[in-house]
């Protein structure tokens, strides 16, 4: 990327991040505050744009803000530790697998309940009854 500085609107267009999201990442300290023009507009450098893309891609992969902070701390360090990054990724992958398992269990339960329901306009509903059972 060049030394050209882009306004927040152009950065949003280029990265696919909403302006509000970019401001939020700044507020949360994930993105350092950009320089400002004489008129007060934010001006983003190539390195800030790369960091924003990194954050956006991390969010797309489901990393939490805390996990992204950890990843960024590795990136910002003097030496990137692939071992540490792999550990973070593997831990996140375990969480994803657990959520998938939970979602499959919920799907089976809801499917069973739905199959028990006639769908008729009657006062008895096995889904409601199942939800009310303690």
Task: Provide the whole-model pTM.
Answer: 0.79
Biggest alpha carbon–alpha carbon distance for the chain? 68
Could you report the per-residue pLDDT of 66-84, keeping only the tens digit for each? 999 999 999 888 777 889 8
Domain span at residue 52? 1-64
Could you report the per-residue pLDDT of 88-102, keeping only the tens digit for each? 999 999 999 999 999
* 91 and 62 Cβ atoms separated by less than 8 Å: no
- 85: in domain: no
- Kindly give the confidence (pLDDT) of every residue in the chain, 134 residues in length, as a single tens digit, with 9 standing for 90 and above: 456 899 999 999 999 999 999 999 999 999 999 999 889 899 999 999 999 999 999 999 999 999 999 999 998 887 778 898 999 999 999 999 999 999 999 999 999 999 988 888 888 888 898 889 87
- 56: in domain: yes
Number of structural domains found in the chain? 2
């Amino acid at each position: 990327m060049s030394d050209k500085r882009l306004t927040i609107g152009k950065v949003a267009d280029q990265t696919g991040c909403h302006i509000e999201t970019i401001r939020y990442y700044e507020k949360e300290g994930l993105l350092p505050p950009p320089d400002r023009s004489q008129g007060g507009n934010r001006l983003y450098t190539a390195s800030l744009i790369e960091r924003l893309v990194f954050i956006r891609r991390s969010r797309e992969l489901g990393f939490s803000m805390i996990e992204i902070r950890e990843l960024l701390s590795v990136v910002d360090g003097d030496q990137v530790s692939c071992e540490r990054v792999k550990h973070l990724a593997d831990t996140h992958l375990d969480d994803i697998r657990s959520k998938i398992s939970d979602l499959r269990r919920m799907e089976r339960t809801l499917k069973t309940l739905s199959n028990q329901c006639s769908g008729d306009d009657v006062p008895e509903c096995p889904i409601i009854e199942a939800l009310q059972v303690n």
